[in-house]
Structure 1
Amino acid sequence: MSKYLIVGLGNTGSQYTHTRHNIGFDVVDAFVLKHKGLFKMGRLAEVSEIKWKGKTFVCIKPTTFMNLSGKAVKYWLDKENIDVENSLTIVDDLALPLNKLRLRKSGSDAGHNGLRDIQNVLGTDVYPKLRFGIGNSFPKGMQVEFVLSRWLQEEVPLVRLKIEKCVEVIENFAAIGIDRTMNTINSITFNIESAG
């Protein structure tokens, strides 16, 4: 049975719930909810195991805080004996507009503290990432405040649509492979009209 590690990046604590920076948590929550799983406290992370179409997904939300995410990722890869190419890390991305998702097999941390720590701990930037565009509509010097802010009311329908699409991406990543999934997802521009 193939096994996958699905990593949602975020910070624990109610003040961070549903912020832009915590979109990784929200995506993994949505995936686990769809497949009727439950999270329990595990070492360095909240963990849920999902079985779907002959595949096992070990879903984690690190409890280490964003800047130490690598520790949790490495621990669960090792514990579950999962190859790094069978992991998928979901992360917020300031460089992508709100209407885009980007799936990649590798790539730099692009200044993201969570990715930087994972890269340092794993010793490579070659691991699959699903980047969730959060836009960059903030005044100069206000990046931290923007990233830790919640979505604007008018953004919520688009965010919900993209979260649903991310759940499909996780499924497709395992079902048809990263190449075919990248071909479909990276070209889509999401809009509220299609969100209904």
Structure 2
Amino acid sequence: MSDPLSLIVGLGNPGPQYDRTRHNAGFWFLDELARRHGATLRAETRFSGEVGRARIEGREVWLLKPTTFMNRSGQSLAQLTAFYKIPPAEVLVAHDEIDLPPGDVRFKFGGGHGGHNGLRDIFGHSGRDFWRARIGVGHPGHRDQVIDYVLGRPGRDEQQRIDEAIAAAADALPELIAGAGERAMKTLHTR
């Protein structure tokens, strides 16, 4: 058994010009959770983000969308976790993952940042011992194209696969929230 979750953070960039870009897959995941569980996110300047609460599997869970832009995501997360005294092991960070194809999604505990600037900033503020929902968005083929690629919009078929992966992660989330991390990974990874 792992620690039950107390906070779910979706990574992305604020503003309408970024809404539908691949880099906002973490925001899309949080939006799906808010929709499913009737949560409303509101701007909270003390946490540099939009914050809400959801009841999932009988447990109250914080939802957070940092509004600091991706490369400063750690600031928002650190502000909320310090205020509510939430340890890193009770945090799930949802983010885009270029090393997974669209339609793939994986839960993972710990590990490296893989060049992801949002994760890199979180490591600097909070360490690396937290859960992740790695939402596959695919890779452009060459590392020099990554920035334009993640800040671009997926095509219709690609978006549908990403949305299906987000739904699958949301379906498996109750096990992770309850502290059954291994079972949640098995459920998600064998779908």
Per the TM superposition, whether the score is higher than 0.5 is: yes
Alignment of 1:182 with 2:185, yes or no, is yes
How far, CA to CA, are the matches of 1:184 and 1:176 in structure 2?
14
How far, CA to CA, are the matches of 1:140 and 1:181 in structure 2?
32
Alignment of 1:107 with 2:111, yes or no, is yes
The letter of the residue matching 2:34 is: V
Q: 2:13 aligns with which of 11, 14, 20?
A: 11
**C-alpha contact (below 8 Å) 2:56/2:177 kept by paired residues:** no
User: TM-score under structure 1 normalisation?
Assistant: 0.89
Within 5 Å, which residues of 2 pair with 1:38-57? 38-42=40-44, 43=46, 44-57=48-61
- Counterpart for residue 71 of structure 2: 67
- Counterpart for residue 145 of structure 1: 148
Question: Structure 1 residue runs of 4+, over 3 Å off?
Answer: 137-140
Greater length-normalized contact order (CA 8 Å, ≥ 6 residues apart): 2
- Residues 99-123 of structure 1 show CA distances to partners (whole Å, capped at 9, x for unaligned) of 311211111000000000000111x
**C-alpha contact (below 8 Å) 1:3/1:82 kept by paired residues:** no
1:99 aligns to what SS in structure 2?
coil
Structure 1, unaligned runs of 5 or more:
189-196
- Residues 101-152 of structure 1 show CA distances to partners (whole Å, capped at 9, x for unaligned) of 1211111000000000000111x22211111111113456221111011110
Decide whether aligned partners of structure 1 residues 173 and 84 sit closer, same or farther in structure 2, where only a CA change above 3 A counts: same
Structure 2, unaligned runs of 5 or more:
none
Within 5 Å, which residues of 2 pair with 1:25-40? 25-40=27-42
1:136 aligns to what SS in structure 2?
coil
Q: 1:117 aligns with which of 115, 121, 128?
A: 121
Alignment of 1:131 with 2:134, yes or no, is yes
- Residues 136-170 of structure 1 show CA distances to partners (whole Å, capped at 9, x for unaligned) of 13456221111011110121221221121121233
- Counterpart for residue 191 of structure 1: none
User: TM-score under structure 2 normalisation?
Assistant: 0.91
How far, CA to CA, are the matches of 2:187 and 2:130 in structure 1?
19
**C-alpha contact (below 8 Å) 2:74/2:123 kept by paired residues:** yes
1:142 aligns to what SS in structure 2?
helix
Within 5 Å, which residues of 2 pair with 1:72-91? 72-91=76-95
- Counterpart for residue 193 of structure 1: none
How far, CA to CA, are the matches of 2:95 and 2:56 in structure 1?
23
- Residues 25-65 of structure 1 show CA distances to partners (whole Å, capped at 9, x for unaligned) of 01001101111111111131100111233201100000111
Q: Tell me the number of residue pairs that the alignment of Structure 1 and Structure 2 aligns.
A: 186
**C-alpha contact (below 8 Å) 1:101/1:186 kept by paired residues:** yes
